[in-house]
Amino acid sequence: MTPTKATYVRAMFTRIARRYDLMNTLMTAGRHHAWRHAVAGVVAASPPGPVLDLATGTGDLALAIREMASDRVVVGLDFSEGMLGQARRKLTARRARGISLTAGDALALPFADRTFACVTSAFLLRNLEDLTRGLAEMRRVTQPGGRVIALDIVRPTVPLWDALFGLYFGRVVPAVGALVAGDRAAYTYLPQSVDRFVTPSELGRLMSAVGLRDVTWRTLGLRTVALHVGTA
């Protein structure tokens, strides 16, 4: 990310960290947990070894991975100390084992090449200033034969549903964000980031372009979320 965008996004996620889980539940009617479990299922079926969870946020995906694949060691990385603080409290409250947390930038990962069997992300990619660089970093730290797994929000392609989704995401979500999280600006940024994001097929091509093989994807949540998987 450029320093300006990095500073903005980091500050934004730190501001909403305390209400982040509640807002996710309200926005998705609780479906975000099922989507993260879908990612965890891909990890469980992947080659054995440690997992890096990028933009780990409050730790929900890291916890889902450990729940489904208890033999996996998970490293959760985020560049928002506010989010990491919430994750630490959650892991402590749940007495979670096998998960460590660290601060870092997804565009310059502080790990050696080929360190992890899986690299996961949930709702990260739209926030990257340089998407190709971020994908290349994910591939770099993944072991040969390992998996890169990305979950993100996308605009649906069905015309009527796309219009309804746009109305909900562009009008309702900012209003709820203002009421619940006290931060309309953050939840106005969210739909704007989706509007600017690539399509699932374009993301698949970018993953292939950085050297990932056998890239596949499927949509979830009435085609509003895409789950991509590539092999290093």
% of residues, the chain, pLDDT over 70: 98
Is 116:141 a contact under the CB 8 Å cutoff?
A: yes
pLDDT per residue over 41-55, tens digit each? Answer: 999 999 999 999 999
pLDDT per residue over 53-76, tens digit each? Answer: 999 999 999 999 999 999 999 999
The rounded Cα 230 to chain-centroid distance in angstroms is 15
Cross-strand pairs, 101: 76
Please enumerate in sequence order all residues whose Cβ is within 8 A of that of 169, keeping only pairs 6 or more positions apart, or say none.
190, 191, 194
Q: Residue 61: which of 96, 16, 105 has the closest Cα?
A: 96
The residue extents of the domains of the chain are 3-154+199-231
pLDDT for position 3: 53
pLDDT for position 171: 81
pLDDT for position 98: 97
Which comes out higher in pLDDT, residue 197 or 163?
197
pLDDT for position 130: 92
pLDDT for position 87: 97
**CA neighbours within 13 Å on the CB side: how many for 24?**
20
% of residues, the chain, pLDDT over 90: 68
Does the structure show a pLDDT above 80 at 156?
no
Other Cβ atoms less than 10 A from the Cβ of 54: the count is: 28
Does the structure show a pLDDT above 80 at 164?
no
Six token digits for residue 170: 């562009």
Other Cβ atoms less than 10 A from the Cβ of 24: the count is: 18
Mean pLDDT of all residues in the chain?
91
Six token digits for residue 125: 């990619």
pLDDT per residue over 215-232, tens digit each? Answer: 999 999 888 899 999 999
pLDDT for position 197: 84
What is 3-154+199-231's CATH number?
A: 3.40.50.150
pLDDT for position 190: 79
d(CA 163, CA 160): 5
pLDDT per residue over 103-137, tens digit each? Answer: 999 999 999 999 999 999 999 999 998 999 999 99
Name the DSSP class of 54. E
**Rounded mean pLDDT, 195-201:** 85
Is 224:153 a contact under the CB 8 Å cutoff?
A: yes
Q: Residue 84: which of 134, 31, 14, 151 has the closest Cα?
A: 14
Does the structure show a pLDDT above 60 at 1?
no
pLDDT per residue over 3-38, tens digit each? Answer: 567 788 888 899 999 998 998 899 888 899 999 999
CA distances from 211 to 17, 114, 230 (A): 34, 14, 9
pLDDT per residue over 183-193, tens digit each? Answer: 888 888 877 78
